[in-house]
Chain A
């Protein structure tokens, strides 16, 4: 989950300018004028093509930008307005685009000996784009560093100090890179096949953004070695919330959500048994609504979203949403999408992909 300062519809319209607004179909323009917030998410269109869509908090699609292949995670820079759609693992492209069409999209490719893992984040000042990547021959996770001021040229990389990094984010002060090392080995020769399920070592790593040095590494307890850490987000106090997907026995009841801060041990949320079962031991996305102090998670396998109190960890709501996909903070609660085309109260003839970013 990539956190930035979200802007509202007025900001979006102001930034867009007359040129962009004039390019919109009347229905999209009307949707935008009524909207309080705008999001971006990957989609698969009815014709099977892939795109990233901007969408209002009512679920009305405003605009689409075509993509070369299926996307996964998204990142947004409030400073530059640029938005990124990362290819789904083991993809090799990331598209950086301006939702207001003020500049041409830029497509970057992974190094020949790397592939993207589907997530990344901007530095708070918008100067750098970080991407989770796989050094598949070295079997180690990496963070690729791209220079936003030079057409996103790759200028370096850091280790993630683990295998199979997935989601990552950046602390609000830009000093720490926070990575969920899922612990699962993959190699592009074997597609999406998981190669080391018996020997996983998932972890969460805090990495110095200036030097790449490891600041802290939190390996999951041996009891939960098959609990892959997948997604992260930050609350208003800088606390790191993480969500997991379990590769062990389906009857087990692993802790699927937790949180920690720098200098602290991991704390797991003790979800009710029926909630854990409902989530099918698989959380696909997590988001924090900072203004309301709540945490939202979704499970496409379980077909559900769950809202937690960020202070107590108590379950506030559980909602059945078949094929629940992305989640992002809304003005009140969360915006949730589904593979079946639901985005809050609107159903569109698209399949929403796994992640949403508020722009």
Chain B
């Protein structure tokens, strides 16, 4: 037990330590020497490039949408769809980071509104397109509207939803101009996140240098907890918020229309990119270096889990109706099990091995 305010001790729990120390001891098991390099690589080699890639992709998408509005040809439509798929991929890689600047001012929701459980967002998009008021087809106008009208799922409906044939029937039509405005809005929102992370004395410095001067982390433990949180919550998101949104197991009724990006057949591409983003953080940041020497086997298991998922998810049927049919449900059951294994491996085995209590996800008091 360590007392730092030794007026009267009424509760006794083991773990004897110095009476003078004021800061939390590093978690037992963690190779704390590796923390600065891991945080530096996570920021400079994963998070910042991830957002920059997303912003650049959104810029290409904006250009492609403008070309589509100007040209109105099958070729420009194909290019716009290709650019959209590209942006989905780059966004899905970095959307695993659901902390920091992206969750401020609802930037995340402005880029991605999902799920739309009762179809309220879809109705808003359909109504806006039906109204076809030119004043609604600017980036500024879109930025002031409901989040359901601003982001990737709205643009997916423009490109792939009912009536998308109009995009090549009419040059400069409202539907296309609205889509271009949405793309421009996504680009601008992504730019705000990039600007926040690229500011040298901003969040990147705070993340790379935990301590009293940091706005985010009091010590190394808090910093590593946040990094592990990205992995755990990202893996949980893949399973609980994306897969289980439309498939919860063989004894339940699938809801394929609830799958993210089902119209554009990007469901599994997005999930693959999510998992790829998690693996990139795990490997490029060198998070295995935080493990003590006798726990290195945990890293090999996590590598294997990632590899297995990245082998299987891209092979799933992109038609979600078909993917959730009785004939193919077994593959999704396997995915449910394997994604659960990944969560447990990261949260419990890795978290416990680096001394973050009984497993990371457990220590979220509430």
Pairwise interchain contact A316-B13, C-beta atoms closer than 8 A: no
- What residue of chain A has the Cβ atom nearest to residue B240's Cβ? A191
* A163 vs chain B, min Cβ distance (A): 16
Q: Which residues of chain B are within 8 angstroms of A347 by Cβ–Cβ distance?
A: 14
Expressed in whole angstroms, the minimum distance between the Cβ of A179 and any Cβ of chain B is 16
- Nearest-CB residue, chain B, relative to A349: B358
The residue among B9, B363, B365 with the most chain A CB atoms within 10 A of its own CB is B365
For B106, what are the chain A residues with a Cβ–Cβ distance below 8 Å? Answer: 198
Q: How large is the interface on A (under 10, 10 to 19, 20 to 34, 35 or more residues)?
A: 35 or more
- CB of A294 within 8 A of CB of B10, answer yes
A4: which B residues are within 8 A, CB to CB?
none
Chain A, Cβ-Cβ closest to B245: A189
Q: A320-B17, A333-B11, A336-B11 are in contact. Are A72 and B366 (CB under 8 A)?
A: yes
Interface check B124, CB cutoff 8 A: no
Majority SS at the chain B contact face: loop
> Quick one: which of B1-41 are within 8 Å of A by CB?
1-15, 17, 22, 24-25
A339 at the interface (CB under 8 A from B): yes
Q: Bits for B339-365, please: 1 = Cβ < 8 Å to A, else 0.
A: 000001000100000000111001111
Task: Say how far A322's CB is from chain B's closest CB, in angstroms.
Answer: 6
Kindly identify which residue among A88, A306, A322 contacts B15, using a CB–CB cutoff of 8 Å.
A322
Task: Kindly list chain A residues whose C-beta atoms are within 8 Å of the C-beta of B363.
Answer: 300, 323, 339
Which residues of the partner chain B approach A189 to less than 8 Å between Cβ atoms? 115, 117, 241, 245
Instruction: Given A44-B358, A325-B365, A341-B358, decide whether A193 and B12 contact each other with a Cβ distance below 8 A.
Output: no
Say whether B312 faces chain A, with CB atoms less than 8 Å apart: no
Q: Is the CB of B74 closer than 8 A to any CB of chain A?
A: no
User: Cβ of A278 < 8 Å from any Cβ of B?
Assistant: yes
B366 near A354 with CB under 8 A, answer: yes
The residue in chain B whose Cβ has the minimal distance to the Cβ of A117 is B366
Q: Given A336-B11, A340-B357, A344-B12: A319 and B215 within 8 A (CB)?
A: no
Q: How far is the CB of A91 from the nearest CB of chain B, in Å?
A: 11
CB distance from B245 to the nearest CB of A (A): 8
Q: How far is the CB of B111 from chain A (nearest CB, A)?
A: 15
Whether B8 pairs with A316 at a CB distance below 8 angstroms is yes
Given contacts A303-B24, A339-B358, contact A316 B4 (CB under 8 A): no
Please tell me if B166 contacts chain A, counting CB pairs below 8 Å.
no
Residues on A with beta carbons closer than 8 Å to the beta carbon of B357: 322-323, 339-340, 351
Contact code string B232-245 (vs A, CB < 8 Å = 1, else 0): 00001100110001
- At the interface, yes or no: B98 with Cβ under 8 Å from chain A? yes
Kindly state the separation between the CA atoms of A334 and B15 in the bound complex, as whole angstroms: 18
Q: Residue on A with the closest CB to B356?
A: A323
List A contacts of B7 (CB < 8 A).
Answer: 315-317
Q: Are A338 and B13 in contact (CB under 8 A)?
A: yes
State whether the Cβ of B218 lies closer than 8 Å to any Cβ in chain A: yes
Contact residues in B for A99 (Cβ distance below 8 Å):
none
- Complex interface residues of chain B between 93 and 130 (CB less than 8 A to chain A): 98, 103-106, 115, 117-118
Tell me the chain A residues, 280-323 only, with Cβ under 8 Å from chain B: 280, 282, 284-285, 294, 296, 299-303, 305-307, 315-323
B118 to chain A: which residues have CB within 8 Å? 137
Residues on A with beta carbons closer than 8 Å to the beta carbon of B9: 317, 319
A82 lies within 8 A of chain B by Cβ: no
By a CB distance below 8 angstroms, the chain A residues around B12 are 319, 344-345
A14 interface residue (CB < 8 Å to B): no
Decide if B70 is an interface residue (CB 8 Å cutoff): no
Cα A118 to Cα B2 in complex, Å, equals 31
CB–CB B358/A250 < 8 A: no
**One of A274, A301, A325, A339 near B4 (C-beta < 8 A):** A274
Most A CB within 10 A of own CB, among B6, B8, B217: B8
A316 and B7 CA atoms in complex are apart in Å by: 6
CB distance from B228 to the nearest CB of A (A): 14
Q: Mark A77-92, 1 if CB is under 8 A from B, else 0.
A: 0000000000011000
How far apart sit A257 and B121, CA to CA, in the bound complex (Å)? 40
Are A250 and B216 within 8 A (Cβ)?
yes
How many angstroms between the C-alpha atoms of A245 and B103 in the bound complex?
19
Given A48-B344, A250-B218: A284 touches B365 (CB 8 Å cut-off): yes
Contact partner of A190 (CB less than 8 A), chosen from B1, B217, B241, is: B241
Bits for A185-208, please: 1 = Cβ < 8 Å to B, else 0: 000011111000110000000000
Determine which of A193, A251, A274, A306 lies in contact with B22 in the assembled complex, contact meaning CB atoms within 8 Å.
Answer: A274
Chain B residues near A323 (CB, 8 Å)?
A: 357-358, 363
CA distance A191 to B235 in the complex (A): 13
Cβ of A332 < 8 Å from any Cβ of B?
yes
Chain B residues, Cβ within 8 Å of A193: 98
Q: Decide yes or no whether A166 CB sits under 8 A from chain B.
A: yes
Q: Which residues of B are found within 8 Å of A245, using beta-carbon distances?
A: 365
- Indicate whether A344 sits within 8 Å of B13 (C-beta atoms), given known contacts A274-B4, A317-B5, A339-B357: yes
Contacts of A320 in B (CB 8 A): 1-4, 15, 17, 24
Contacts of B10 in A (CB 8 A): 294, 296, 307, 316-317, 319, 332-334
Question: When chains A and B are docked, how far (Å) is the Cα of A323 from the Cα of B104?
Answer: 28
Q: At the interface, yes or no: A237 with Cβ under 8 Å from chain B?
A: no
Which residues of the partner chain A approach B344 to less than 8 Å between Cβ atoms? 48
Docked Cα-Cα span, A275 to B218, in Å, equals: 14
**Inter-chain contact A342/B366, CB cutoff 8 Å:** no
CA distance A116 to B357 in the complex (A): 26
Knowing that A189-B115, A334-B10 are A-B contacts, what are 10 other residue pairs whose CB atoms are under 8 Å apart, sorted by A's residue number?
A193-B98, A300-B363, A302-B24, A305-B11, A317-B10, A317-B11, A321-B15, A336-B11, A347-B14, A354-B365
Q: List 24 A-B contacts (CB under 8 A).
A: A189-B115, A190-B241, A191-B236, A191-B241, A192-B364, A230-B366, A275-B5, A278-B4, A285-B365, A302-B24, A315-B7, A319-B2, A319-B13, A320-B17, A320-B24, A321-B1, A321-B13, A322-B24, A322-B25, A338-B13, A339-B357, A341-B358, A345-B13, A351-B359
